[in-house]
Amino acid sequence: MTTSDTPSAAPAAPAAPPVTASADARAQDRLRALHRAGQLAERYPEVEALLADLPAERLPQAGQLLSRVDADEVLRHHPRTPVVGVAVTGHGTLAPLVPALTAETARHGMLLRPYVADFGGYVFDLSDPSRPLHAAGADLVLCVLDPMAVLDELPTPWQVADVERTLEEKVRLWDGLVGRFRAESPATLVLNTLPLPRRFTAQLVDHRSRAVLGAAWREANARLLRLAEAHPSLVVLDLDPLIADGGPASETRLSLYAKSHLSAGLLAAYAREIGHLARHLAGRTKKALALDLDGTLWGGVLGEDGPEGIEVGDGYRGEAFQEFQRTVRQLGSQGVLLTAVSKNDLEPVRKVLADHPGMVLREEDFVRVTANWRPKPDNIRETAEVLNLGTDSFVFLDDSPYECGLVRRELPEVATVRLDEEPAEHLERLLRDSWFGVREVTAEDRSRPSRYRDESARGDFLRSFDSLDDYLRELGVHVRLARMERADVGRVAQLTLRTNQFNLTTVRLQPAEVEALADDPDALVLTVRSGDRFGDNGLVGALLLRRDGDVCRVENMLLSCRVFARGIEQTCMATVLRRARKAGFRAVEGRYRETAKNGGVREFYPECGFGRADGGGADAGGGAELAFRHDLADVPAPPDHVSLTLALNGGLL
């Protein structure tokens, strides 16, 4: 996957108008006009905002237009556009999946490079490294399974025992294929569960046999889902929740005549889930949810109706707002940073959060509550600054078309979700794009909100000092630099996927790749933990090192944005330099690969005493790639306000 983040040389996308009943029609007309004029490649940065206004059922049509655009032509105009390579294989006909995938990646600001394997060849595609699928070099490999992969092999007539036997054989086959594929490819492999068509269950005339068949089928799907526990680079999508949202799982005529065994609607929903996964692998997962209050968390207007008059808890609408709050709180419990951005006076808001009996969310559930009469884009910017996050980390929810339009215009990088007057629909609008989806929720994720609340306290503490040096001395920063333990693999992989600002190369790694580094005798993965007088920050960074003769190479260094500028990064690099000299290395070398978001660390190596080295140039995404070298003759001392604990346990250093 191309490691750049967002277009920088591209012209700014025009502001989307406030969402109205005709906004989707205007967006569709604009896409058609760009297509007719041959300007879709040139104006590609506009596409993300246009697709945001299209309902899900119209996205495949947009994908038909976008799939005709030459990806290389887009990159010629906008070389920083993130590219995701997706290879598709499976049992049935899958070419119709490409337009849906094209639209879903485009609506998240990415560009699709698809490869579709030959019909029905998934067993050979996954097991044989000489097949074109492996040569495609995809980031994601989709092996789309369908029920006919099992049912086509039944005898005529068949019994439930025949299905059970075939299911057992297939699950064993798929397990083996995953293992062989993982040994040959670093790509993320995606399988899916199998829907059970009624046209087969109905062929059994007794309900007892239907029940036994249903149990066997679900047990096989459960085993499929559990394959991901044994294979870290595997994702298994459960199709049942997608089918439950409506529409048939298959269409008999298309299944029989075209061998397209999953319906167009189900493939479109599947593509949406793949778009979410691709967004995460590209490091574009959101971190913070900025919530309006009036009309969003409760019904009515607090300033006009008073605490007693708002709708939450009582009545059918109040219960709908309460259920929405439960969902928001559930997200917060998994590491999503909840913030409130409201046009209200602060004290009445705090009183409702503290005392209203219908409220599920309380002030302590939020990392920051902002209630004033300033423009909401300004408040989102300020919240991002206080939390040390980029505004592109935010999702904004509001029921006001005006406020949503304003945020879209002023902060197009914020994912803006417009709610309407029906609170029962709030849940679906929040959840349908899985903005905060990750491969695995870690202990670090669950503790993140409390640490960001500490971050807000640090900001207040900083404002009480006349100088940054005085603040840092009183902050009491401590760092633990240690060899990575097995329990940290998921968190380190997550840092490579989600960290954009302090990420020297923006190379994304899956857990299996991090494990491989840990097992390599010529490599060393160091974890960085930090804390201070306000609490423990947890695992906030990593250094990936490799021996190359008498040179120690820094393959990457990552640090969470919430601990920038406290001397942690300088302490870690100074320690690596000192330990490398002690271990007998002649030099330490590293590279910086420029992206749209990591410009703030461009001078990190020079500030640590490194000089420029030969071997720089431009990376595949068009950004600068700079090489640096430190000869270890004059190693800088770490900042004196940081205390350091080492736990390296041998190895490279």
Residues 498 and 559 in one domain: yes
Poorest-pLDDT segment among 15-19, 154-158, 235-239? 15-19
* pLDDT value of position 615: 61
Q: Is residue 73 part of a domain?
A: no
Q: How many domains does the chain have?
A: 3
Residues 179 and 86 in one domain: yes
pLDDT tens digit string along 305-334? 888 889 998 889 999 999 999 999 999 999
* pLDDT value of position 2: 46
Mark out the alpha helices in 202-357 (DSSP H runs): 207-230, 240-244, 252-258, 264-281, 302-309, 315-332, 346-355
Residues 268 and 310 in one domain: no
Per residue in 226-236, is it b (16+ CB within 10 Å) or e — as a string? ebbeebbbbbb
Please say which residue of 281, 301, 325 terminates a domain: 281
* pLDDT value of position 472: 64
Ramachandran angles phi, psi of 100, nearest 5°: -65, -40
Residue type, 633: A
Beta bridge partners of 559: 502, 541
pLDDT tens digit string along 84-115? 999 999 999 887 899 999 999 999 999 999 99
Poorest-pLDDT segment among 140-149, 235-244, 579-588, 592-601? 592-601
250: left (phi over 0), alpha (psi -120 to 50) or beta: beta
Structure tokens at 80: 């920083």
Q: Which domain holds residue 265?
A: 82-281
* Mean pLDDT on 47-64: 85
Structure tokens at 614: 């030969």
Q: Does a cis peptide bond (omega within 30 degrees of 0) precede residue 55?
A: no
Residue 89 near residue 95 (C-beta atoms within 8 A) = no
* pLDDT value of position 386: 84
Residues 302 and 247 in one domain: no
3-state secondary structure (DSSP) of residue 592: strand
* Mean pLDDT on 181-205: 93
- CATH for 146: 3.40.50.1110
Q: Is residue 452 part of a domain?
A: no
Residues 124 and 195 in one domain: yes
Give pTM, 2 decimals: 0.74
* pLDDT value of position 463: 56
pLDDT tens digit string along 536-579? 778 888 999 999 999 999 999 998 876 777 788 888 889 889 98
* Mean pLDDT on 8-35: 62
pLDDT band at 173 (very low <50, low <70, confident <90, very high): very high
Residue owning tokens 């978001």 = 597
pLDDT tens digit string along 450-502? 767 666 655 555 555 555 666 566 667 888 888 998 888 888 888 888 888 88
Q: Is residue 45 part of a domain?
A: no
Residues 268 and 302 in one domain: no
DSSP state of 107: T
Calculate ∠ Cα 231-236-237, nearest 5°: 165
Residue 10 has pLDDT above 80, yes or no: no
Residue 12 has pLDDT above 60, yes or no: no
Please say which residue of 260, 281, 302 terminates a domain: 281
Distances (CA, A) of 367 to 231, 295, 463: 35, 21, 18
**Residue 608: how many CA atoms within 13 Å on its side-chain side?**
26
Q: What percent of the chain has pLDDT above 70?
A: 90
Residues 277 and 297 in one domain: no
- CA gap 629, 620 in Å, rounded: 22
Please say which residue of 412, 431, 450 terminates a domain: 431
* pLDDT value of position 9: 39
* pLDDT value of position 534: 67
Residue 11 has pLDDT above 80, yes or no: no
